[in-house]
Amino acid sequence: MNSEAVSALIAKNPSLKSAKAKLESMETGSYCIHRSWGFGLIKDYDEAEQRLLIDFADMPGHKMDPAFCVTTMDVLPANHLLVRKEIEPDVIAELVADKPAQLLVEALESYDNSAATQIEIEIIFAQVVGADKFKKWWTGARKAIAKDPRISIPEKKTECYILREKPISAEDEILEQFKGTRSARRHIALAVELLDTTSKKDVKEELHTILDGVTESVRDSNQLNSSERLFGAAMRDDVAKLFGEEGEREPTQASLIAEVRDLHEIAEHIPVHFQRRFLDLVNTTHPIESRDIVFNLLKVSQGKFTTECINFLIEQDHADELAAALNRWQTEQNLRAPVLLWIVKNRHSKKFAKLLHDLITPRLLSAVFFAIDYEALQASTARRIPLGDILSEDKDLIADLLSTADPETAKDLANTLMLNQGFEELTKKSLLARFIKIFPQIQSLVASDAEGKEEQLLVSRPSHDRAREEYETIVSKKIPENSKAIATAREHGDLKENSEYKMAKQDQTMLMARKGMLERDLARARITDFTEASLEQVSVGSIVEVKGASADKPITYTILGAWDSDPENNTISYKTPLGSALVGKQIKETVTVKSGGNEEDYTIQSIARYVDSL
């Protein structure tokens, strides 16, 4: 836009007068970045329509009102990295590949104050490098940037990278930051930075301040938890080696893990890159107990620590014991979600295939479903469930786990899937289709599910949780205990005269019947919070005042879900004779209810909403 065009635009819209300089910068051939459309090139200005023509990646020739662009778009200077990527791509490509620190220096030079937040820089670099390559590239680039004396490194993402007027070494900057903080955690973090940026031949004596400070923090600070103190002690000892001082300092790493019962909590919070060193330290400190300790840590491990524990056990020649432990935990239903996730992810790897071969069975799929369901019930928010994700994304996983299943086992597992709280309905159908592909007879479940939905049970969250908890107790505790009781009774011989065996078998019949009923009911259940209740007519979630024909005073009933009856407090299920008779009726209507061979008329006096009474 030339000055005449800008003047015409301001004359039409005087409020733009304060933005005159920005409007004048919107020249043909200038590059820009828009809050919604991203990076673009201003191609022209249509004076008749008073519209800019801008080529965005997904919207070439897009017409935009300059008045709108004033607050939503920035014109980029010629030295901005995104502009340079367009006009000198080879130069930028070379900086990306070989000189990431110089790339940041030149990025900062395009800002008026030679400073930009880490968030801003990461957004620009992601576009320059490419979103698919950025994460890996940035991990290496930050190490090179940290060593560059021209750049001040921010502690937090919201703080700024600053291009210094006078360069200082990375070591001097670390020392400066160390002296400027009293935080024990920050002292340890700066010690890590020192180890990353300094070699033994370059170490300066004045940096000994950092060793003394970390030693004091680890020994005296009450800010640190047990994991942080152990990691701090390890970094303290590494810095001491840098200075050629390898004598023991208190507290020693070994003393910090001397108490075995504390190791679970320490392992849960140690940094990922320290996990293997932690296991080696456990092995050194507890040479006799180390195998059992690592097995116990594995049992409750998560994330990368699961892999570290397994690798450690294999390297210590405990592969056979590991295979036996995993099988035992599966039988005892003690395989937790992180270990299950590791098993299914590594089932085809050359390194672990033999170890995991006997685990890839329908029983493992049952354990996976149980873990997903448990995690969904425990979650207070709709967060991701990694086991559920891999079951959906890995197209071969269900087929692998069902490879030795018979049709009846597959049908039971499909039923378990239908009841699972960890999947959305569309995901359940997708997973069920994989069952049907292997066992076509399971197709009948789809039809029965559709029929069940015609007779859904409306239930409250508390009553659903109670039913679900009862079901889980029956499946995970009572049925296994009953199976053991039957096996024990068999050993007593002569089943005809064996009263213990008969009682155990009777218990089995009752448990299986209750399990089947709960499965059917839970499959039909739809959880409601009763907010859909109306004041116009009686519905599930209504408080209804009725007067019986033979009663002197009206009675108030609360009509709730199928499993919410509490007769002593006049709370009834909508499935009871009175509840079902009242639902759908309005004030002044009369219903007739049969009870014990007698009939009673009830006239509705008033209707209120249960949720409004809470």
Asked if 67 contacts 9 with a C-beta cutoff of 8 angstroms, the reply is yes
Residue with tokens 């069975």: 361
Asked if 521 contacts 463 with a C-beta cutoff of 8 angstroms, the reply is no
Tokens representing 177 are: 């930051």
Residue-level pLDDT at 478: 87
Residues sharing a CB contact under 8 Å with residue 481, sequence separation 6 or more, in sequence order: none
Q: Report the candidate in 107, 170, 96 with the shortest Cα–Cα distance to residue 133.
A: 96
Residues sharing a CB contact under 8 Å with residue 454, sequence separation 6 or more, in sequence order: none
**What does the H/E/C string look like for 465-506?**
HHHHHHHHHHHHHHHHHHHHHHHHHHCCCCHHHCHHHHHHHH
Residue-level pLDDT at 57: 84
Tokens representing 434 are: 């994989």
pTM above 0.95, yes or no: no
Q: Report the candidate in 481, 479, 485, 478 with the shortest Cα–Cα distance to residue 501.
A: 485
Residues sharing a CB contact under 8 Å with residue 75, sequence separation 6 or more, in sequence order: 22, 25, 26, 27, 30, 31, 32, 42
Length of the chain, in residues: 614
What distance in Å separates the CA atoms of residue 319 and residue 314, rounded to the nearest whole number? 5
Residue-level pLDDT at 454: 47
Asked if 492 contacts 501 with a C-beta cutoff of 8 angstroms, the reply is yes
Residues sharing a CB contact under 8 Å with residue 496, sequence separation 6 or more, in sequence order: none
* 571-573 and 555-560 strand pairing: parallel
The residue ranges of every structural domain in the chain are 3-75, 81-163, 171-333, 455-527, 542-613
Residues sharing a CB contact under 8 Å with residue 253, sequence separation 6 or more, in sequence order: 230, 233, 234, 237, 281, 285
- Give the CATH fold of the 455-527 domain: Helix Hairpins (1.10.287)
Strand locations in 260-393 (E): none
Give the CATH architecture of domain 542-613.
Roll (3.10)
CATH classification of 81-163 is 1.10.10, yes or no? yes
**What does the H/E/C string look like for 373-408?**
HHHHHHCCCCCCCHHHHHHHHCCCHHHHHCCCCCHH
What does the DSSP assignment read for 35-50? TTTEEEEEEEEETTTT
State pLDDT tens for residues 160-198.
Answer: 999 988 887 778 878 888 888 899 999 999 999 888 877
Tokens representing 244 are: 């050629």
User: Residue 44's beta-bridge partner residues?
Assistant: 53
Tokens representing 286 are: 């507890």
78 Cα distance to chain centroid:
42
Give the CATH architecture of domain 3-75.
Roll (2.30)
Q: What are the CA-CA distances from residue 251 to residues 184, 191, 237, 569 (Å)?
A: 15, 17, 11, 62
Tokens representing 390 are: 């891999």
What distance in Å separates the CA atoms of residue 149 and residue 169, rounded to the nearest whole number? 4
User: Residue 595's beta-bridge partner residues?
Assistant: 598
The number of C-alpha atoms within 13 Å of 29 and in the hemisphere containing its C-beta is 3
What distance in Å separates the CA atoms of residue 520 and residue 403, rounded to the nearest whole number? 27
Q: What are the CA-CA distances from residue 522 to residues 365, 503, 513 (Å)?
A: 20, 28, 14
Residue with tokens 């001082």: 245
Residue-level pLDDT at 445: 56
Structural Rg of the chain based on CA atoms: 35
Residue-level pLDDT at 452: 46
Q: Report the candidate in 155, 241, 145 with the shortest Cα–Cα distance to residue 190.
A: 155
What does the DSSP assignment read for 158-178? TSEEEE-SS---HHHHHHHHH
Low-confidence stretches of the chain (pLDDT beneath 50): 380-381, 450-454
